[in-house]
């Protein structure tokens, strides 16, 4: 039986895609996810420690947001997923299993309050997020309990408007385990990785934030997870268990970064750095056992120098 790594490697070879070497710049994390480049710094979620962190130039991490104190008031795990920034500079972040969006204030890492309750439209854990220039948040969700091995089902995107109103977008089909989500540099397109469909979907986005005309953008050789865009029209996608992070256009796979599984499982990627031409990749070892993942802290951050630029794409 062909392994996922062999399947992706065959797709890279068939595309005659150039490859770029990855190197580790930092380690000591649980399951790192949701990479961001903001105000000249690299940010990420250290998911099973309930924190958001930044890295300095030497790869040292600083805790900027700490949600662990919320565990005293709930019986669900405190795991921070996708996040972004409002026009006034405040950070908002998904508390995945609480099915809430939290807003971070200015009074220390633990200064978190509820921004929006999305439970009306969340079937199980919410997932990633992208915030547009007006402060509108688009949120993906798993739709089923992947951690307990439930059968996959489709689920809607969730939108939190700048005034806090929560809805699911009209005229947009449900996603098959929606994961990474991003907005093009000109704001006219929203991209979503549909894990269980092994594809990337693109949706037209209007000036008022409404969505329409969802369609296939690219088929992936393995399940896509976190994604990042480049200003040249490509979508970079991590394929956990597939041994690669790869770039896709409507013409197919164009570039790849080998990520051998013995070095960890690449979960997400984003173009960052001063000119946004450094591909940052979050890499972990244990996603299903939260306690083990946090205790062993084997996750790391990798980078690769690529030929594309993130420009004004979001996140």
The number of folded domains in the chain is 1
**Domain-located, residue 255:** yes
200-247 tens-digit pLDDT: 999 999 999 999 999 999 999 999 999 999 999 999 999 999 999 999
CB count within 10 Å of CB 143 equals 24
**Domain-located, residue 313:** no
Q: Which residues of the chain have pLDDT under 50?
A: none
Asked whether residue 179 is marked as a ligand-binding residue, the answer is yes
Asked whether residue 216 is marked as a ligand-binding residue, the answer is no
**Domain-located, residue 92:** yes
Asked whether residue 127 is marked as a ligand-binding residue, the answer is yes
**Domain-located, residue 315:** no
Select which of 46, 132, 225, 255 is catalytic.
225
Residue 174 has a pLDDT of 97
Burial class of residue 33 in the structure, from the number of CB atoms within 10 Å of its CB (0-12 exposed, 13-18 middle, 19+ buried): buried
7-44 tens-digit pLDDT: 999 999 999 999 999 999 999 999 999 999 999 999 99
**Domain-located, residue 312:** no
Q: How far is CA 5 from CA 98, 220, 225, 237, 310, in A?
A: 34, 13, 15, 15, 27
Active site residue 225: yes
**Domain-located, residue 88:** yes
Question: Dmax of the chain from CA atoms?
Answer: 54
**Domain-located, residue 72:** yes
What CATH number did the domain enclosing 96 receive? 2.120.10.30
The Cα–Cα gap between 142 and 123 comes to: 8
**Domain-located, residue 251:** yes
Asked whether residue 39 is marked as a ligand-binding residue, the answer is no
Q: Which domain holds residue 130?
A: 4-305
């Amino acid at each position: 039986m062909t392994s996922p790594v062999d399947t992706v490697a065959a797709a890279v070879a068939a595309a005659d895609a150039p490859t770029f070497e990855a190197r580790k710049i930092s380690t000591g994390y649980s399951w790192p996810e949701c990479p961001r480049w903001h105000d000249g710094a690299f940010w990420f979620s250290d998911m099973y420690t309930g924190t958001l962190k930044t890295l300095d130039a030497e790869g040292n991490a600083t805790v900027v947001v700490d949600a662990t104190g919320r565990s005293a008031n709930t019986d669900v795990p405190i795991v921070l997923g996708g996040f972004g920034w409002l026009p006034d500079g405040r950070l908002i972040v998904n508390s995945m299993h609480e099915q809430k969006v939290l807003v971070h204030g200015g009074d220390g890492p633990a200064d978190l309050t509820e921004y929006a309750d999305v439970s009306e439209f969340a079937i199980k854990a919410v997932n990633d997020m992208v915030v547009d220039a007006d402060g509108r948040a688009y949120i993906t969700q798993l739709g089923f309990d992947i951690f307990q091995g439930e059968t996959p089902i489709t689920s809607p995107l969730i939108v939190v408007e700048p005034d806090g109103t929560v809805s699911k977008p009209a005229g947009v089909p449900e996603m098959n385990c929606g994961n990474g989500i991003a907005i093009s540099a000109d704001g006219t397109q929203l991209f979503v990785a549909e894990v269980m469909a092994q594809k990337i979907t693109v949706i037209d986005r209007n000036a008022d934030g409404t969505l329409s005309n969802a369609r296939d953008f690219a088929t992936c050789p393995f399940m896509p997870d976190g994604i990042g865009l480049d200003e040249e029209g490509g979508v970079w996608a991590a394929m956990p268990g597939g041994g690669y992070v790869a770039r896709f256009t409507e013409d197919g796979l164009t570039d790849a970064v080998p990520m051998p599984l013995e070095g960890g499982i690449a979960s997400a990627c984003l173009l960052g750095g001063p000119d946004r031409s450094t591909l940052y990749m979050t890499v972990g070892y244990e996603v299903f056992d939260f306690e083990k993942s946090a205790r062993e802290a084997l996750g790391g951050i990798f980078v690769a120098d690529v030929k594309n630029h993130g420009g004004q794409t979001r996140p």
